[in-house]
Amino acid sequence: MEGSGRGFFWEAGARLDIPVGGGFKACLEGGYAHQAVDSISGSGSELQGQSSKSWEGEWRVQKEQVVAPWGTLDLRTPSNRQREGVETEDFRLDLSGFRLRLGLSLGF
């Protein structure tokens, strides 16, 4: 499956450099980043034996419930293949959160 979409991104943070000698510095970065895409669409395909199917569509979250002798399983699966009789909700790709990075840098 392939897709493309649009979203808004921003990041704020701080960095602390600690000289460790020989032009090297240990660095510690921390901050928060908002990275979210609200609308993604694209193409998909499926190959079953010799049969191939292709489709285009907006990504949605499909909600299904599988009932088996051992219990009930509630599934929520992102997909751009829309199937009749399957309940869906909006799909949102959200990679937002706090970040902490530790690294080593070399200054010239």
- The confidence score (pLDDT) of residue 1 equals 57
Q: Report residue 100's pLDDT band, with 50, 70 and 90 as the boundaries.
A: very high
Q: Is the pLDDT of residue 102 over 70?
A: yes
**% the chain with pLDDT above 90:** 36
Q: In this predicted model, which residue has the larger pLDDT, 5 or 60?
A: 60
Q: Is the pLDDT of residue 41 over 70?
A: yes
What is the average pLDDT value for the chain, to the nearest integer? 87
In terms of phi and psi (left: phi > 0; alpha: psi -120 to 50; beta: otherwise), the region of 103 is: beta
pLDDT digits (tens, 9 = 90+) for 50-95: 888 888 888 888 998 889 999 999 999 888 887 788 888 888 888 9
Cβ-contact 7, 37 below 8 angstroms: yes
pTM of the entire predicted model:
0.58
Cβ-contact 42, 59 below 8 angstroms: yes
3-state SS assignment for residue 3: coil
Task: Give the tokens for residue 98.
Answer: 């706090």
Cβ-contact 73, 82 below 8 angstroms: no
d(C-alpha 66, C-alpha 76), whole Å? 11
The string of DSSP codes covering 33-57 is EEEEEEEEEEEEEEEETTEEEEEEE
